[in-house]
Chain A
Amino acid sequence: MKTLLFLSIVSPLFTSIIAGFYGYRLKKHIIGWISSGGVFLSFIFLLVLYIKKAFFEMNLFEWTNIPFKINILFLSDRLSILMGLIVACVSFIVHVYSIYYMEEDEGYFRFFSYLNLFVFSMLVLVLAGNLIVMFIGWEGVGLCSYLLIGFWYYKESASKAGVKAFVVNRIGDAGFLLGIFSILFACNTLEFNEIKNLLNTVDPQILIFAGIFLFIGAIGKSAQFPLYIWLPDAMEGPTPVSALIHAATMVTAGVYMVLRLSFLYSLIPEIGYFIALIGSLTAFYSALCAVKEDDLKRILAYSTISQLGYMFAGAGLSFYGKGFFHLITHAFFKALLFLTAGIIMHSLNGEINIKRMGGLLKKLKHTHLLFAIGALSLSAIPPFGSYFSKEGIIHESLNAGYLIYFILVLTSFLTSLYIFRAYFHVFQGHEKVKPHKEDKRLVYPSYILAFFAIISGFFNFRGHIDSIFGKTEIHLHIPFILSLLPLIFSIAGILSAWYFYDIRKEQEKGFIFELIENKFYFDKILSVYFVNVLFKISGYLEKFLELRTIDRIVNGAGKISLLTGKIGISLQRGSLRFYLKLLFAFISLLIFFFMFRYI
């Protein structure tokens, strides 16, 4: 069994090396299938582990024991193996999709090498047995994300977006490292199972710090409120990358980390409430951004941020099962939406602005069906998987009061509004660009994802996922009308998207869009009442503070450094012998000094 776990982690790395070093000799499709095969193998191995319920710790080797012991430790339990299964499954489908999607790209083998390396790092992250190994995987996925966003490095915007993602993630990583240190300080160990047993004896003050710092790491990776800015730009990468990394797997790593450390977060519920608040506000805000956006992939990116907010809301309020459940369903339907966006882009020669699309309903029948399944899943309409998960989160959030509940309900209205706005623009109305025929080879892998998106609701059959976290959620008696509210809001969102979409003019009318277009008149109110006053105050400040005090200090500092510079210039003669003389003179001085001191 241990060999199986080891092989499941290593096989994507192996195929990554094959694709990277020998890829240029092989035919394009062969590389693609080899890479997909590596991922498929790890999927099969993980499936065997999960079915046989082989749950254990695997200590690969001891990395160091100075000043504390760090093992390269992997942990197989229901959470990690299930997450690994989701990762491997979605990765495999996206791999098969990109065999044909990237067909005409020159960097074909480079792409598959990076993609496999990503799967390897993600599996290391997911199956890690201690925080250090998790951090290794964490950095690995960050690196692969950077490489794949900037995959078309000759496009300046792409390479800039890659750098942006990397730098923003560094901020989160700093928080994650601080969190690791505070856990180390508190428990003197980093292994999850040992931390779990030790936590009750630890000062809760330190735990609060650890919880906050680790959550900063999760914010960076999962693109939550202050650090969400990198994800919309990350859409510069190829579409399969957006589907796999920036929708289904990597961005959920932050949520996964909170779930992994659920024993820690359940001890500090006040931090948990804070997490849920950040999550729900992010969900609301980015849903608003998505309503305003015209770029199809960026709409999906904002929607990813919004759904991640839901997961954080679920996990923060210590309904870890619900958060994890939504993570799973989201992975399937969001990857599906991205893949269909890829097909649409392919058949429209890379057109991505939804205002310039239209009437694709007749030509792209399969794509239409797939996109509709994805969109209905995203809006959480009953037969689809995400209905159960999202509804679960929204219902359970009633336990923590009405604030988060209403934010989430309002967000579900906006969610179906923006996705169906995109749907109407893309598929209804007049045909503006004549599409190519859709590529059947791209459609089939997407159908597998659509299948999973529909049935993923059954994964939580009899609380299967809830029971991972050891406790069943408290079920409030919810009034009937409140339990129907999220669904009503979702359907209302769809209907209003249809109502506001004017078929003749092909653009939205109505007060909601006017409000959003003008950013809720926020700027105007701000500029009248706030900015003018500020300008006056700052005018006075400029006179007294800036010119008379700070400027003098600054100029003085400049003058001092000019003076010292003049002294320094006289030493800089350019004569080697002079330098040598100076060097030896000072060394002999030093030697004399020490001799007289010690003798």
Chain B
Amino acid sequence: MMGFYYFCGILLFINGILIMVLRKGFIYILIGIELSLNALSFLFFLASRSLGNPHGEIFAILLFGIAAAGIAIGLAILINLVKAKGTQDIEEFKDTGG
């Protein structure tokens, strides 16, 4: 039964990455990052349950904090991007060079 949960977690992770790669909107990319991070913490949690080791849970909690910080910075960048060009399509920002 554990294998099924692992499979779900990996599926979620790949889903997040696909969103990041395929969508053009900046918000979608942020959502993709969140999704893959959540999948990761889910996997950590799962592993800590199945191995009986609390470290995974601690790590999952840490990841929540990091994800929250990441999204805060991401939203700030988003606001600046929209202010600069009036769109959130990242293909429009090729000239920033990064």
| Choice from B21, B90, B96, B97 contacting A581 with Cβ under 8 Å | B21
Chain A residues with CB under 8 Å of B21's CB are 577, 580-581, 584
Decide yes or no whether B46 CB sits under 8 A from chain A: no
Asked whether, in the complex, the Cβ of B97 is within 8 Å of the Cβ of A577, the reply is no
| Nearest-CB residue, chain A, relative to B23 | A577
Q: Does B29 have its Cβ within 8 Å of any Cβ on chain A?
A: yes
Does residue A572 face the partner (Cβ distance < 8 Å to B)?
yes
Interface pair B98/A574, CB less than 8 Å apart: yes
Q: Can you pick out 24 interface pairs between chain A and chain B where the beta carbons lie within 8 Å of each other?
A: A572-B97, A573-B94, A574-B93, A574-B94, A574-B95, A574-B96, A574-B97, A574-B98, A575-B90, A575-B91, A575-B94, A576-B29, A576-B90, A576-B93, A577-B21, A577-B22, A577-B24, A577-B90, A577-B91, A580-B20, A580-B21, A581-B21, A584-B17, A584-B21
What's the A-B contact tally at a CB cutoff of 8 Å? 24
**What is the CB-to-nearest-CB distance from A177 to chain B, in angstroms, rounded to a whole number?**
37
Q: Dominant SS at the B interface?
A: helix
A360 to chain B, nearest CB (A): 66
User: For the complex, what is the distance from the CA of A573 to the CA of B97, rounded to whole Å?
Assistant: 7
What 1/0 flags go to B64-98 for Cβ under 8 Å of A? 00000000000000000000000000110111111
Residues of chain B contacted by A573 (CB below 8 angstroms) = 94
Q: Return chain A residues, CB-CB under 8 Å to B24.
A: 577
Enumerate the 9 nearest inter-chain pairs by beta-carbon distance, A residue then B residue, closest first.
A574-B94, A576-B90, A574-B97, A580-B21, A581-B21, A575-B94, A580-B20, A584-B17, A577-B21
B91 to chain A, nearest CB (A): 6
Q: Which residues of B contact A (CB under 8 A)?
A: 17, 20-22, 24, 29, 90-91, 93-98
Number of interface residues of A (CB under 8 A): 9
Contacts of B98 in A (CB 8 A): 574
Q: How far is the CA of A584 from the CA of B22 in the complex (A)?
A: 12
The minimal Cβ–Cβ distance linking B32 to chain A, given in whole angstroms, is: 9
Give bound CA distance, A572 to B21, whole Å: 17
Docked CA distance A577–B25 (Å): 10
Q: Mark A544-573, 1 if CB is under 8 A from B, else 0.
A: 000000000000000000000000000011
Nearest A residue to B95, CB-CB:
A574
Kindly name the residue among A575, A576, A580, A581 whose own CB sees the greatest number of chain B CB atoms within 10 A: A576
Residue of A nearest to B97 (CB): A574
CA distance A580 to B21 in the complex (A): 6
Q: Nearest residue in B to A581 (C-beta to C-beta)?
A: B21
In angstroms, Cα B98 to Cα A592, docked, is 28
Report the minimum CB–CB distance from A412 to chain B (whole Å): 68
Docked Cα-Cα span, A522 to B14, in Å, equals 78
Instruction: Considering the complex, give the chain A residue whose CB is closest to the CB of B98.
Output: A574
Q: Which residues of B contact A572 (CB under 8 A)?
A: 97
Please, which residues of chain A bring their CB within 8 A of the CB of B94? Answer: 573-575
C-alpha spacing A580/B17, complex, angstroms: 9
Residue from the set B21, B22, B29 with the largest chain A CB neighbour count within 10 Å: B21
Nearest CB in chain B: distance from A547 CB, A: 39
Q: How far apart are the CA atoms of A140 and B11 in the complex, in Å? A: 56
Q: Which residue of A lies closest to B20 (CB)?
A: A580
Question: For residue B29, which residues in chain A have a CB less than 8 angstroms away from its CB?
Answer: 576
Please, how many angstroms separate the alpha-carbon atoms of A274 and B17 in the complex?
68
Inside 8 A of A577's CB, which chain B residues have their CB?
21-22, 24, 90-91
A-side contacts of B95, CB under 8 Å: 574
Q: Which residues of B contact A575 (CB under 8 A)?
A: 90-91, 94
Look across to chain A and name the residue whose beta carbon is closest to the beta carbon of B96: A574
A578 to chain B, nearest CB (A): 9
Q: How far is the CB of A576 from chain B (nearest CB, A)?
A: 5
Q: How far is the CA of A384 from the CA of B77 in the complex (A)?
A: 73
Instruction: A228 to B20: give the CA distance in the assembly, Å.
Output: 60
Q: How far is the CA of A584 from the CA of B91 in the complex (A)?
A: 19
* B17 partner residues in chain A, CB cutoff 8 A: 584
Q: Whole-angstrom distance between the alpha carbons of A491 and B91 in the complex?
A: 86
Q: Which residues of B contact A576 (CB under 8 A)?
A: 29, 90, 93
**Closest residue of A by beta carbon distance from B22:** A577
Give bound CA distance, A574 to B94, whole Å.
4
Residues in chain A near residue B20, CB distance under 8 A: 580
From residue A588, how far is it (CB to closest CB) to chain B in Å?
10
Docked complex Cα distance between A10 and B89 (Å)? 61
| A565 → B minimal CB distance (Å) | 15
Q: Please measure, in the bound complex, the distance between the C-alpha atom of A576 and the C-alpha atom of B77, giving whole angstroms.
A: 14
State the Cβ distance, A582 to closest chain B Cβ, in Å: 10
Task: Output the least CB separation between A363 and chain B (Å).
Answer: 67
